[in-house]
């Protein structure tokens, strides 16, 4: 973990400007020097992904309904870094949300909807959005449908595999992997749909990439005109295969990987996983692997590999001018924080940054914003006071981060 402590800037302690009403301690979020953090909104509920219009209106998707509503619009008219106006609507819960052109796109766990935005960036049809995609697989596990759009009128929808490793009986010791994995027909990939066509189902969409277990964080990189995603790697190597893995190896493996995808690519799930220590694609034990045998010759290599189970829920390529030059076109990754590292200490609960040049990493990943959990040593995710989830960039170049425990929205700015 030497890379984490790699610090270009002196780390400053940015005290969050407000604190949990029910707790004594303040949440202290550490940021590089020059950055500051404002508590833009609080107590929204399960704040998942977030999108900002060119006018600066902030839309947050909720994982569970709050007072019957699943979308919150936040407005900061006096530009003091705290939203003073909150408007809630949308009778469905979910994760995905994105702004493109004059539309706000957002998803439930089985459908994608489109709202119309007026010239001020305000939704005009709160009660009757258009249904863009319908009938997607929703079996609870990995059911969230994250979305992103390209500049050619396409929307990309993650359809997570409702499974850990495509075993005959999910997450069960001794149960073999199914070859070929039938889940991949309708899940375990990213599907492309037309963002302007109503009521599309699988048959009208296209399986754009396959072999991905689950994606929550994804972004269309406009610099390289390419889809980038963060995969949630498989769980339970030690619990299912104690003959090949100990608890420490199982906490670290497999890597949480970033893929840069082209149409038709295969991420390799469930047959292989990536091991950032051996720097190899390793055959999954459900399919004859032992932690050493390699596999997945046709699967693409990741562009970045992080330690296991940290739960990358948000991905954003930074396009703005507010942050120093080295951040432009680089990737921010919101790590929700692990659970599958137990009995080892948990890890994540921070926002990482990877510098990029021409669509490729130009340095090691580093921790950008840390301390969301509010405690130093985390045994179980329930102890975390906040968990980073969604990321968005404002028109001024500020970075927004959501928290789905208390429903905080943080706004991170930079001043020389």
CB of 382 to another protein, least distance (A): 4
b (16+ CB within 10 A) / e for 145-180: bbbbbbeeebbbbbbbbbbbbbbeeeeeeeeebbee
- Smallest separation, CB 141 to another protein (Å): 5
Helix/strand/coil for 381: helix
User: Applying CB under 8 A, does 176 fall inside the site for another protein?
Assistant: no
Told to check if 28 binds another protein by CB under 8 A, we report: no
Angle at 162 between CA 159 and CA 164, to 5 degrees: 120
Nearer to another protein, 46 or 53 (CB): 46
Please report the sign of the dihedral spanned by the C-alpha atoms of residue 416, residue 20, residue 378, residue 109.
negative
> Among the candidate windows 23-31, 140-148, 151-159, 299-307, which touches another protein by CB under 8 A?
140-148
As measured in angstroms, the least distance from the Cβ of 93 to another protein is 11
3-state SS, residue 307: coil
* Inter-residue contact 414 to 399 (CB < 8 Å): no
Q: Which is nearer to another protein, 42 or 266 (CB)?
A: 42
Q: What angle do CA 233, 238, 243 make, to 5 degrees?
A: 130
Per CB under 8 A, the list member of 172, 201, 294, 321 interacting with another protein is 172
Q: How far is CA 7 from the centre of its chain?
A: 24
Strand partners, 159: 189
Least separation in angstroms between CB 56 and another protein: 30
Per rule CB under 8 A, is residue 169 in the interface with another protein? yes
Q: Which of 32, 45, 63, 285 binds another protein (CB under 8 A)?
A: 63
Residues from 368 through 387 that contact another protein (CB under 8 A): 379-383, 387
Residue 332, helix vs strand vs coil? strand
Specify the stretch interacting with another protein by CB under 8 A; choose among 70-78, 272-280, 336-344, 365-373. 336-344
Please give the structure tokens belonging to residue 280.
């190899």
Rounded to the nearest whole angstrom, what is the least distance from the CB of residue 402 to another protein in the complex? 14
x-marked contacts with another protein along 30-49 as a string, rule CB under 8 A: ----------------x---
By CB under 8 A, residue 343 contacts another protein: yes
Residue with tokens 């001018």: 321
Using rule CB under 8 A, residue 168 touches another protein: no
Give the ranges where 223-281 is alpha helix by DSSP (H).
237-240, 247-252
**292, 303 in Cβ contact below 8 A?**
no
CB-nearer residue toward another protein: 23 or 173 = 173
Q: Check binding of 143 to another protein (CB under 8 A).
A: yes
Q: Which residues pair with 281 in a beta bridge?
A: 274
Distance set, CA 161 to CA 167, 286, 367 (Å)? 12, 16, 29
Closest distance between another protein and the C-beta of residue 345, in Å?
10
Name the token pair of 231: 């995969």
Footprint on residues 230-269 left by another protein (CB under 8 A): 235-236, 238-239, 242
| Identified binder of another protein from the candidate list 2, 21, 79, 140, rule CB under 8 A | 140
- Check whether the bond before 157 is cis (ω within 30° of 0): no
Which of 177/302 has CB closer to another protein? 177
Nearest-approach distance from CB 216 to another protein, in angstroms: 12
Interface region with another protein, contact rule CB under 8 A, candidates 52-60, 281-289, 298-306, 340-348: 340-348
What six digits make up the tokens of 24? 């004594």
Q: Which residues bind another protein (CB under 8 A)?
A: 46, 63, 140-143, 169-174, 235-236, 238-239, 242, 339-340, 342-343, 379-383, 387, 405
């Amino acid at each position: 973990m030497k890379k984490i402590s790699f610090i270009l800037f002196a780390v400053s302690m940015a005290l969050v400007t407000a604190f949990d009403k029910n707790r004594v301690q303040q949440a202290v979020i550490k940021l590089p020097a020059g950055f500051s953090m404002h508590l833009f909104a609080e107590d929204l509920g399960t704040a998942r992904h977030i999108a900002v219009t060119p006018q600066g209106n902030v839309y947050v998707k909720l994982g569970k309904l709050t007072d019957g509503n699943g979308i919150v619009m936040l407005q900061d008219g006096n530009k003091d870094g705290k939203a003073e106006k909150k408007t809630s609507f949308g009778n469905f819960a979910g994760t995905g949300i994105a702004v493109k052109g004059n539309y706000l796109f957002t998803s439930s766990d089985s459908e994608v909807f489109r709202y119309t935005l007026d010239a001020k960036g305000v939704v005009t049809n709160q009660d009757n959005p258009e249904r863009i995609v319908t009938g997607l697989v929703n079996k609870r596990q990995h059911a969230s449908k994250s979305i992103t759009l390209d500049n050619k009128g396409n929307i990309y929808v993650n359809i997570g595999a409702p499974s850990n490793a495509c075993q005959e009986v999910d997450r069960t010791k001794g149960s073999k992997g199914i070859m070929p994995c039938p889940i991949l027909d309708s899940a375990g990939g990213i599907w492309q749909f037309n963002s302007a066509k109503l009521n599309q189902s699988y048959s009208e969409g296209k399986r754009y990439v396959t072999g991905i277990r689950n994606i929550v964080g994804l972004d269309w990189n406009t610099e390289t005109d390419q889809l980038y995603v963060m995969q949630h790697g498989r769980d339970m190597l030690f619990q299912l295969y104690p003959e090949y893995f100990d608890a420490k190896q199982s906490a670290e493996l497999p890597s949480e990987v970033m893929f840069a995808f082209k149409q038709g690519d295969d991420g390799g799930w469930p047959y292989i996983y990536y091991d950032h220590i051996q720097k190899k694609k390793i055959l999954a034990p459900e399919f004859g692997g032992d932690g050493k045998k390699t596999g997945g010759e046709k699967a693409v290599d990741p562009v970045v590999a992080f330690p296991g189970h940290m739960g990358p829920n948000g991905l954003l390529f930074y396009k703005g001018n507010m942050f120093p030059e080295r951040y432009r076109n680089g990737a921010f990754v919101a790590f929700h924080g692990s659970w599958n590292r137990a009995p080892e200490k948990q890890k994540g609960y921070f926002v990482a940054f990877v510098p990029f040049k021409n669509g490729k990493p130009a340095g090691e990943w580093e921790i950008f914003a840390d301390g969301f959990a509010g405690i130093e040593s985390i045994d179980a995710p329930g102890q975390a006071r906040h968990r980073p989830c969604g990321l968005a960039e404002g028109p001024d170049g500020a970075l927004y981060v959501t928290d789905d425990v208390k429903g905080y929205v943080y706004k991170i700015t930079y001043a020389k």
